[in-house]
């Protein structure tokens, strides 16, 4: 028998199956979709949390605390100050090179003027004749070595002012002891540089140092054997440093006493030299220049006595050097910084007083 297939029956038979199979698949897709959303949802937040520190793993892991730290405000300020100091240092070096070039040109011009004056046989200030046989010993009584020293001393003053400004800024910023010590040592080394320059000119022109003509008028009032009196500095700084401990006070008192004793010994020795030199010059042998042998013999004795003046200046400079370094050893770094600033301010006021004195109105 042949049976015709029914389309409706086929549809009825297929529909439940297809609809039933479709619902589970849709349900499974819908069930899987929320998981996918949950899995993909937190990703942006996770990426955001991981980017700032470039960390890996959960945000609660200990690796977060091991990442690079952002510098604090104090460190950033210190770095900015270092960069600014380096920039200023480069500018100062450039200005110093330009100053050296300018000084070289001035010296070249001065040499040309001296050469032209020598060829013309002119007289200068102290009476030194510029003849064909040689160059002048000086202009206005100032030797060439003394003129060079005056230029070096002017340059030293400018550098000293800069160093003291940096030291004052370091004290005001309350830098740590180890950093502040660098500025203090720099200032102390600068005084040593002046002592070295003076030792060179003492060999060739000791009278220029003793006369104090390289100082201002007010500073010359307090001159002592070619410089300042060390005991005066001790009196100055006692009012400008922090309260001293008992041990520091004993050390400074001992230093002051030994310094005053050394100053008194040098002063007595210099006075004895003056008296001996005066006796030699006023001796009977020099009153009769006709006896040339005795005359030259006595002048040779006077020359030998006068040459000892160089030794007095060197001993006085050594005493100044030892006093400054001994104070540096007794005081703390911060006290030594205030000590350097007080000394610099003292000499600055003397120079300012000299400027006011020279610019005062004159009366007829």
Q: Is the dihedral of CA 319, 325, 329, 333 positive or negative?
A: positive
Whole-number pLDDT of residue 118? 53
User: Which is nearest to 164 in space by CA: 358, 341, 342, 355?
Assistant: 341
3-class secondary-structure state, position 96: helix
Characterize 108-144 residue by residue with b for buried, 16 or more Cβ atoms within 10 angstroms of its Cβ, and e for exposed: eeeeeebeebbeeeeebeeebebeeeeebebbeebbb
Strand ranges inside 134-239, DSSP E: 138-139, 142-143
Radius of gyration of the chain (CA): 43
Over residues 255-284, the mean pLDDT reads 92
Greatest Cα-to-Cα distance within the chain, rounded to the nearest angstrom: 181
Place of tokens 């500073």: 219
Over residues 116-144, the mean pLDDT reads 46
Whole-number pLDDT of residue 279? 87
Place of tokens 């002063």: 267
Distances (CA, A) of 319 to 26, 199, 213, 308: 104, 13, 21, 17
Percent with pLDDT over 90 in the chain: 42
Contacts of 162 (CB under 8 A, 6+ apart): 92
pLDDT tens, 166-211?
999 999 998 898 999 999 999 999 999 999 999 989 988 999 999 9
Q: CA 313 to CA 205: how far, in whole Å? A: 11
Confidence of residue 116 (pLDDT cuts 50, 70, 90): low
- Which is more confident, 149 or 128? 149
pLDDT tens, 2-14?
444 444 444 444 4
Q: Which of these ranges, 164-178, 214-228, 271-285, has the smallest mean pLDDT?
A: 271-285
Whole-number pLDDT of residue 362? 79
Long-range CB contacts (< 8 A, 24+ apart) of 307-314?
Answer: 308/273, 309/206, 309/207, 309/210, 309/270, 309/273, 310/202, 310/203, 310/206, 312/225, 312/266, 312/269, 312/270, 312/273, 313/198, 313/202, 313/206, 313/209, 313/210, 313/225, 313/226, 314/199, 314/202
**What is the DSSP-derived secondary structure letter of residue 284?**
G
Q: CA 139 to CA 291: how far, in whole Å? A: 35
Quote the mean pLDDT of the chain: 77
Q: CA 218 to CA 352: how far, in whole Å? A: 9
- Residue 249 pLDDT exceeds 50: yes
Over residues 266-273, the mean pLDDT reads 95
Whole-number pLDDT of residue 364? 58
Confidence of residue 16 (pLDDT cuts 50, 70, 90): very low
pLDDT tens, 29-64?
444 444 444 444 444 444 444 444 444 444 444 444
Whole-number pLDDT of residue 124? 36
Q: CA 187 to CA 340: how far, in whole Å? A: 7
Over residues 114-134, the mean pLDDT reads 43
């Amino acid at each position: 028998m042949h049976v015709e297939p029914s389309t409706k029956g086929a549809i009825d038979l297929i529909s439940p199956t297809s609809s039933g199979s479709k619902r589970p698949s849709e349900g499974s897709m819908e069930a899987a979709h929320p998981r996918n959303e949950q899995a993909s949802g937190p990703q942006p937040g996770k990426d955001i949390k991981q980017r700032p520190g470039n960390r890996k793993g959960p945000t609660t892991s200990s690796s977060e605390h091991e990442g690079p730290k952002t510098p604090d405000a104090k460190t950033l300020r210190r770095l900015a100050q270092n960069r600014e100091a380096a920039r200023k240092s480069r500018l100062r070096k450039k200005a110093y090179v330009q100053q050296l070039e300018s000084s070289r040109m001035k010296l070249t011009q001065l040499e040309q003027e001296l050469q032209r004056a020598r060829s013309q046989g002119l007289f200068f200030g102290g009476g030194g004749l510029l003849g064909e046989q040689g160059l002048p010993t000086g202009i206005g009584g100032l030797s060439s070595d003394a003129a060079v020293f005056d230029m070096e001393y002017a340059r030293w003053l400018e550098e000293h002012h800069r160093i003291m400004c940096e030291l004052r800024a370091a004290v005001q910023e309350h830098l740590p002891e180890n950093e502040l010590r660098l500025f203090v040592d720099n200032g102390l080394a600068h005084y040593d540089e002046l002592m070295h320059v003076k030792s060179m000119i003492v060999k060739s022109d000791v009278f220029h140092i003793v006369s104090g003509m390289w100082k201002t008028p007010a500073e010359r009032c307090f001159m002592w054997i070619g410089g300042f009196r060390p005991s005066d500095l001790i009196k100055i700084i006692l009012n400008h440093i922090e309260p001293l401990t008992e041990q520091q006070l004993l050390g400074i008192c001992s230093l002051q006493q030994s310094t005053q004793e050394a100053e008194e010994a040098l002063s007595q020795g210099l006075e004895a030299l003056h008296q001996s030199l005066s006796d030699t010059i006023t001796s009977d042998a020099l009153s009769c220049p006709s006896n040339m042998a005795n005359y030259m013999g006595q002048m040779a004795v006077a020359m030998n006595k006068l040459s000892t003046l160089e030794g007095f200046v060197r001993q006085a400079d050594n005493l100044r050097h030892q006093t400054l370094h001994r104070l540096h050893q007794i005081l703390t770094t911060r006290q030594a910084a205030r000590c350097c600033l007080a000394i610099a301010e003292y000499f600055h006021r003397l120079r300012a007083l000299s400027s006011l004195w020279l610019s005062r109105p004159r009366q007829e």
